[in-house]
Amino acid sequence: MESDNQTASVTEFILLGLSAHPKLEKTFFVLILSMYLVILLGNGVLILVTVSVSCLHTPMYFFLGNLSFLDICYTTSSVPLILDSFLTPRKTIHFSACAVQMFLSFAMGATECVLLGMMAFDRYVAICNPLRYPVVMNKTVYVPMAACSWAAGGAASMVQTSLAMKLPFCGNNIINHFTCEILAVMKLACVDISINVISMGVTNVIFLGVPVLFIFVSYIFILTTILRIPSAEGRKKAFSTCFAHLTVVVVFYGTILFMYGKPKSKDPLGRDKQDLSDKLISLFYGVVTPMLNPIIYSLRNKDVKAAVRNLVSQKCFTQ
């Protein structure tokens, strides 16, 4: 009963964000808003193209449409809250709203990890077993694969969010972040959070480590197969079908490693600077990767470029 009373005492959280740097807030408001609009436009166009153009009704573009929708959901779960915090003096969020935002952000992140693994499998089958590709990657296979990605991410987020929000909070409600980042929220609890940290670690291994390993192994087989192609033109064409996915994987996981792998400063002044740096890196990670994905997939992709042109003219191109 005492734990319930302690939890009920916290009805809202205060998000620090850039409160200590008010001069930066207006600048970052314009910058983040511009990037958010680019995300909505770029990913929205990709979804429209992959749905409307029948020539792109293939597993690869089905997964790409899911990735674009996921990126829109991921940024929408946090960016409006961040933009609002840049304009309002009191940066608060209700306890229940914090739980919803935490759930959505975690779910989208976990789903993207699994989805990138599914996309690697699609490229593996396309390159290593091209004759069996239509059989292996038919609609009854790739649709459930995408659905499982969403279900797995949602289930993992539900577990972690429930564990975090059931913790007793004894009055300290200041989150040193732009959003309700789950670890930042758990640190406010007035009890031992070892179980939560262990649970989070296991989830990270499953949703980060396993997909990375799967992608790595898939690309070993893919590269081995590509190197066996006798003609340089054939090798180039085969690799070009994997280039966009591989680039997205490197950007996605590379940013995560950079965020959590750099050493912590022990100097108090250094810690303050690093705290600002960590928050800005986290902020841009949440918008840069979703903004780059449609650019990466359309920049070197002749099918997408042609589909956009033909969507405008209402004619489908011939592959």
Q: What is the pLDDT of residues 230-240, one digit of tens each?
A: 888 888 888 88
- Residues with Cβ within 8 Å of residue 255, at least 6 apart in sequence: 281, 285, 288, 289
Any domain includes 283: yes
Any domain includes 127: yes
Any domain includes 6: no
Sheet of 12-15: strand order equals: 92-94, 12-15, 174-175
Any domain includes 4: no
Q: How much is the pLDDT for 3? A: 43
Q: How much is the pLDDT for 172? A: 79
Tell me, rounded to whole angstroms, the distance of Cα 280 from its chain centroid.
16
What is the C-alpha separation between 167 and 163, in angstroms, rounded? 7
Q: What's the rounded mean pLDDT across residues 31-58? A: 89
Any domain includes 7: no
225 neighbors 234 (Cβ within 8 angstroms): no
Q: How much is the pLDDT for 167? A: 86
Any domain includes 309: yes
- Residues with Cβ within 8 Å of residue 293, at least 6 apart in sequence: 42, 43, 67, 68, 71, 248
Domain range enclosing 269: 12-313
What is the C-alpha separation between 260 and 208, in angstroms, rounded? 13
For the chain, percent of residues with pLDDT exceeding 90: 37
Tally of structural domains, the chain: 1
Tell me, rounded to whole angstroms, the distance of Cα 306 from its chain centroid.
27
Any domain includes 173: yes
Confidence tier at 103 by pLDDT (50, 70, 90): very high
Average pLDDT, the chain: 83
Q: How much is the pLDDT for 187? A: 85
Any domain includes 319: no
Q: How much is the pLDDT for 210? A: 92
Q: What's the rounded mean pLDDT across residues 186-193? A: 86
What is the C-alpha separation between 259 and 208, in angstroms, rounded? 14
Q: What's the rounded mean pLDDT across residues 48-74? A: 90
CATH of the domain at 187: 1.20.1070.10
87 neighbors 29 (Cβ within 8 angstroms): yes
Confidence tier at 271 by pLDDT (50, 70, 90): low
Q: What is the pTM of this model?
A: 0.85
Tokens of 246: 């591989």
Confidence tier at 316 by pLDDT (50, 70, 90): very low
For the chain, percent of residues with pLDDT exceeding 70: 85
Q: What's the rounded mean pLDDT across residues 250-258? A: 80
> Which of the residue ranges 39-43, 261-265, 301-305 would you say has the lowest mean pLDDT?
261-265
258 neighbors 281 (Cβ within 8 angstroms): yes
312 neighbors 319 (Cβ within 8 angstroms): no
H or E segment and range at residue 65: helix 59-76
pLDDT greater than 90 at residue 272: no
Give me the helix-helix angle, 59-76 and 139-165, nearest 10°: 20
